[in-house]
Amino acid sequence: MDAEDNVWLEPEEALTRFKRPDISLLDLEGSADASIEHRYGFKLGNIGFLVPEKTLSEVVRSFQVYPVPNTQLWFQGLTNLRGNLIPVYDLSLMLGMVDQPVAHKNLLVLDKGASSIGMIIDNLPKSYDVSSWHTLMHTPKLPAGLTEFIFEVYSVKDVIWVGFDHKGFFNSIKSKISA
């Protein structure tokens, strides 16, 4: 080992030895087309659900659900996500879109920590530009128990897209989980 290999820089010198990159070409202010409003959404049957803005969301592709005895079929059980137990729901079964649980390959987790919930979904959520979508003034007929948790409704190519208050909805069903 050479003596030069063991020479350390003073902290001030180490922090100031690099030239700052030119960031003037980066669009840090979001100055791209401000009329575009991107939202993530997923479909269950012919209903699209939009993830609420500023909601932390994550898709887990490989997960194990641990059933909880004496609960409704639509409550799949719990999964362990980085040490947190997350309740897992089959929303399509809960809303009567299917009659039996179906093996799904994706778990959409909304929120973080103790307020996290997981919904099993077929396809990955996609980003949509909702700025050009047609807003409906009246909520169309939706599965029972869902309408009161909808805060916006769009119609796009024969699909009804809803802004969904997932926190209110899942809090409202807690007392209905036991069979």
Return d(Cα 26, Cα 15) in angstroms, integer.
Answer: 23
Q: What is the pLDDT along the chain (179 residues), one digit of tens a residue?
A: 555 667 787 877 777 777 766 666 655 555 455 566 788 999 988 899 999 888 889 999 989 999 999 999 999 999 999 889 999 999 989 988 888 777 778 999 999 888 899 999 988 999 998 888 888 888 888 888 888 999 999 988 888 999 989 999 999 988 888 86
Mapping DSSP to helix (H, G, I), strand (E, B) and coil, where does residue 132 land? helix
Task: Name the nearest CA neighbour of 109 among 48, 151, 65, 155.
Answer: 65
Which residue blocks in the chain are alpha helix, DSSP H?
11-16, 91-94, 166-172
Return d(Cα 56, Cα 121) in angstroms, integer.
Answer: 17
What are the tokens at 131?
């700025």
CATH assignment, 47-176 = 2.40.50.180
Q: pTM of this prediction?
A: 0.75
Residue 175: its pLDDT value, please? Answer: 84
CB 79 within 8 A of CB 104: no
Residue 13: its pLDDT value, please? Answer: 76
Give 142's contacts (C-beta < 8 A, 6+ positions apart).
Answer: 47, 150, 160, 162
Sheet with strand 57-60: strands edge to edge: 57-60, 106-110, 117-121, 84-89, 75-81
Residue spans of the domains in the chain: they are 47-176
